[in-house]
Amino acid sequence: MSNVWLLLSRLFAILHVAHHVNCTPESDSEETYNTYYNYVGLTRRLWSFVEKYPSICSLESVGKSVEGRELWVLRVTAHPERNEPGKPRFRYVGNMHGDEAVSRQVLLYLTEYLLTRYGTEPRVTRLLNSTDIYIMPSMNPDGFEKATEGDCTGSSSTARENAKHVDLNRGFPDQFDQLPRVLERDAPEVTAVMNWTLQKKFVLSGNLHGGSVVASYPFDDSSSHIASGVYSHSPDDALFRYLAQTYAENHPVMKEGRPQCPYDPDEVFKDGITNGAAWYDVPGGIQDFSYLQGNCFEVTFELSCCKYPFASELYTEWNNNREALLTYMEKVHMGVSGYVMTSAGMGLPGANISVAGIDHNITTWIFGDYFRLLLPGTYSITASSSGYLPKTVNNVTVTEDKATLLNFTLNKSSEEMQMPGSLASPVPSRAFSPTVWSFDNQGASTPQPLVQPQDIGHHTYLDMVLFLQQINTVHSSITHLYSIGQSAQGRELYVMEISTNAGIDQPGKPEIVFVGNLHGSDAVGKEMLLILVEYLCSNYGNEALVTRLVNSTRVHILPSMNPDGYEMIFGAQKHFGTNNDFSGGVRYSSNQNTDLSKNFPDQSHGEDFVQLEKAAVMSWMKTHSFVLSASVLGGMIGVKYPNSVDSLDEDVFKLIAEACFVKYSFLQLSQACDLPRPQDRNGINPSAPAGIDMQTWVYRNTGALGFTIGLSCDLYPQAKDLLTYWKQYHVVLLQFIQQVHFSVRGRVTDVQSGQGIANSTIVVEGSRHHVHTSKSGQYWRPLAPGAYEIQAFAPGYSAVVVPVRVSETQVEQVDIGLTPELRTHSEGQLVDKEFQKLLEDLSSTSGLEQLVQSLLPAGMLRYRTYRERSDFLQKLTLTFPHITHLYSLGHSWEFRTIWALEISGNLESPQPTEPKMRYVAGVHGNGAVGPELLLEFAFVLCINYGGNPTITKLVDRSRIVIVPCVNPDGRELAQEGKCFSTAGLTNAHGVDLDTDFLSGSLSVQPETRAMMDLIREGGFSLSVNLEGGSLLVTYPYDRTTQPAHNEETLKYLAMVYAGNHLGMHFGYPGCHNGPESVPGGILRGAEFSNHSGSMKDFSMDMSLCPEITVYTGCCLYPPAEQLLSLWVEHRTSLFAMLLETHKGLSGVVRDKEGQPVSDAVVRVNGSVLVHSDTQGYFHTLLPPGTHQLEIHAQGFQQQLREVNVSSHQVASPLVIKFTESSTRFSQGVVLAAATSIITILLFSLLIWHFHSAKFVRILNGVRWLRQENLQMDPIVSEKSPLRGVFLEESETGGTESPTHKEQ
């Protein structure tokens, strides 16, 4: 039997191990150093690093291989989300040849080593804090997939090369060959790494190979291209030998210089290093390209004789290379480093750093920072930049320990046209005159630029896109091209940002925006802004004014807000030579033209009439901290500003307008434009509500001041006239950019932490115009000269009023510190009462609908790919960092991230009283509407937070978790316009995820497991899952079973959603498939689609969280034009569910001392069970009505309560206080019972002893006493309980004694 148990126990252990292997991917555990990762495993492993260490690493792809595999790069550094000035960039590249596999694994081991030791090991912590490390484990993933483990010599060239049979280390531009070595289509890996190298300007790099054990340094080839034996010196030959030896001397095999490889056992490398060309000639190698064109010092390291050794050797290889890898990285900090700056303190990107006696220069990066590796010694170093006087510093001493700090300040070579220093400095501090220095009265605006605009003419939409993309590619260091949305006909609304380090919120840089082509017939604004883009980019670094503006300002340019209308006009011009008066120029499905320059919503109208283009621009304006905004157009010449503004702000508007136009006599007009007014498009569309123009909307709804700048009387001039208009009026655009710097500026911070407070409000007494701080706490407020009082306030902080005096010659820096509020108990009660009143108002007949209509629309409704959806979520969190948290739940089969976005006003310190709400979509990938509705919902919450008091309070009192797409793989396969297609319904493994939520299953899909983990976390009060294919709401259960114990609650929640939908509650879905009528628009899940393993059933069973499934419409993937109407139908219901989480029943359980009682059980109506948390708090959703409560807690007597739940009121906390403890009574009962049991046990034990051998000896002694005529009666009395025993044993047992007989 024991053998059977032993066999069973071993079998159980084997099954347990197998289960662990199946459930826990190897990539999520610690390294075992005994296996290679293929592409799939490598991808899993890299993503697992990002999930586990998001604060010190990030993952990106720099391109794709021939076969479409991502070229992954892991960035390892403190704060990987941003570029930091003064932090050098280091790179390791591995697996360039597909069959050289050791480097691939060693770099993964290095990554794990760095990540796991950060914060605990000083050396690693110091390295990551001071260095920006990039690790590419595999540059040739296609080749690796073809390689064979154990192949030491690389016998197959197909594995060494890429899928197009190109040796990647022969494909880079070569200094001795002028012709391209390979075509881009044949080696996309080479192109990707070249672009990456040029963009990042790495300081130091290591390229890891296999096939020998040696460090090889530049140059890799010579002009003669002799196969071997020719030493090819680089200008930094001594430095390269030092760097190579640094690695070699820390490698136990390499330092010996005798690899003893089987193919050449006698090969010797002195000190373990070699010149590349001297070893063998390698034309087109990566390390020479990095040095000559990439600003980067690179050395090649051959790690092992065997190119692809068996995995059992990997741990040895890691130990051999670990110290060498770390020491080599640390050399990035040797030599000289610093900044090249202007006299105003702004960094100069692209400036040259040259060292006397060394014929190799490097250039500064985007911040003007540089890192010049040098050996210890004394040097003369020069900094130079076009348009500036060079500067040389002699006798610069360099030591081996750390880089010598050496900053350069360069003066302009031409001083007469310099901007005032205040415009170039992040923190203005000295006087300036904003108008007298830049232009004279003869019309000379700026020095003749070195580069004149070339691409001048009328651009179609496609021409414009190609032009912007070309500019963005050529001038990538100062440009960032992005889309803010789409037009009615699906054209992207592209914006070009021009600034150093574009796309990043930068201290001291105000933002300004230009918008063109609001009217389709107005080509002037569009073409002038395209010329402005080219002008700023082409003359940056060459022309003083342009360079200073780009260095000190973030300029956003939207050339065409109305691309659809322009295409109509362009077609009319082409065919008829006239614009045919398409003044509005945008046509919707209702066949009604709409003028995009008008009808922006004012405070008295909702946003239902707002077109896609306007909605996109409005949300864009709200999410950026723009200071000034300008619509650029034709049909007028001059500057306009809103009619109805506060007198204080009118002075500012006039000052800026005069600075741009009025003060320059050469810009005055002899007569006004005499143009026929276009017909009012609202006359064509009588139903369109009246609105306001764009500049008025900007003034009332954003922190910017809105202007209209007219540059021509013509709307659609001849192409040859465009350059004339540009030369005559571009001074206005440049001067307008400068005006953004003439502001009161500063930073709002938390006085306790010193951190900037995002979205705090700046108000100037006498003005209703509010300015909000950026995400770093910065603000800019243009003001005319005078004395003001500025008030700053933010939610949770006490307001502060600061006096400020603005002069004509001084820009004021006003930093404001806010103190967090300390609420008293009474204030907390007041806040609760305010929130109760708010909820009552929203729950009234039209309260919620009025709120929804008053909100600023996000205007972001369009279908997104996985990448676009990820970018959208990441940008949202960057824009609203204090209320959003984006994190990964896991990955799909094809390694797409399953994102979760949390929105809350208390991300850092959530309160137990804040209900947690879950919104989910995309369980079925072909249900494409749900993900877009949730993204719109998230954006609406964010852009209205801080501006709308109701939304602000809701977000502050809630925790909202949004999972926009559970099945990203399926979503990529779905097809727009296919209402009933099953393409994308399942995941990439062919599994319907809504049948996969089976508790205890060992084979759940990765998407399912990600959601299971989220659900198991618990704490959710309610969940809503958006699907498609019908128009109704279902509630648990989806499987055939008994009704849920809280079915009344579930039905009520489903009714709330359906009742707030515009048509669902009528109960007639009207779909081709499914029920014809559904009373109230709700059904139990099993009655609609009976199946097991659904997400909502799992949510009910595992976390007691009610979940309803909403079917958003009959069509699974309707055309994009229908998204807006679907949003209007569902938005009120989505908000209604958020309100419901604040209702129901809540309370706290305490003992008589007032201490919380955890894990108390609250039974509602005899069935629903709720448990109190560690703080004694409990919450559950209930339908309106009277409910009976039974409250149990161990050690306390049961309590009974009766409560009333209202559909219009917040859940008022119910205090359950156990006034009388039942502990003492219970303890007494237990003690009495224990005493009785012990007594019985002792008595039984005594009886057993009497039957034992010892007691027999006692009886023998008694008999002996009797023989001595001793009397026993006094000893054993008649009442003794043992008397019977004595008698029984003495009188009936054994041989009778003679004495007894005589008696």
Write out the catalytic residue numbers: 302
Cβ–Cβ under 8 Å, residues 601 and 691: yes
At 1278, the amino acid letter reads E
Distance CA 130, CA 126 (A): 6
Q: At what angle do helices 1047-1060 and 1123-1140 cross, to 10 degrees?
A: 140
From its phi and psi, is residue 118 left (phi > 0), alpha (psi between -120 and 50) or beta?
Answer: beta
At 36, the amino acid letter reads Y
DSSP for 109-138, written as a single string? HHHHHHHHHTTTSHHHHHHHHH-EEEEES-
Query: Which among 298, 313, 243 is positioned nearest to 272, based on CA atoms?
Result: 243
Beta-carbon contacts of 412 under 8 Å, excluding residues fewer than 6 positions away, are 342, 343, 387, 388, 389, 418, 544
Q: Which residue has the tokens 């670990």?
A: 322
Distance CA 360, CA 240 (A): 13
Query: Which among 780, 645, 738 is positioned nearest to 699, based on CA atoms?
Result: 645
Q: At what angle do helices 1253-1267 and 1283-1292 cross, to 10 degrees?
A: 80
Q: How far is CA 480 from the centre of its chain?
A: 18
Q: How many residues does the chain have?
A: 1303
DSSP for 849-902, written as a single string? HHHHHHSPP----S---HHHHHHHHHHHHHHSTTTEEEEEEEE-TT--EEEEEE
What phi and psi, each to the nearest 5 degrees, are found at residue 590? -80, 0
Cα dist from 740 to 9, 487, 661, 810, 993, whole Å? 77, 29, 16, 14, 53
What phi and psi, each to the nearest 5 degrees, are found at residue 826? -65, -35
Distance CA 700, CA 645 (A): 9
DSSP for 180-208, written as a single string? -SS-GGG-HHHHHHHHHHHHH--SEEEEE
Distance CA 872, CA 616 (A): 13
The answer to whether the bond into 280 is cis (omega within 30° of 0) is no
DSSP for 245-308, written as a single string? HHHHTTSTTGGGT---BTTBTT---GGGEEEHHHH---TT-HHHHHHHHSS-EEEEEE--SSSS
Distance CA 713, CA 524 (A): 9
Q: Which residue has the tokens 């508790």?
A: 999
In a 10 Å sphere around its CB, with 0-12 CB exposed, 13-18 middle and 19+ buried, how is residue 968 labelled?
buried
The answer to whether the bond into 90 is cis (omega within 30° of 0) is no
| Secondary structure in 3-state letters for 901-922 | EEECCCCCCCCCCCCEEEEEEC
Q: CB-side exposure of 301: number of CA atoms within 13 Å?
A: 33
If you ran DSSP here, which 8-state letter would residue 349 be given?
T
What phi and psi, each to the nearest 5 degrees, are found at residue 153? -100, -5
Beta-carbon contacts of 775 under 8 Å, excluding residues fewer than 6 positions away, are 505, 756, 758, 759, 878, 879, 880, 881, 882
If you ran DSSP here, which 8-state letter would residue 631 be given?
E
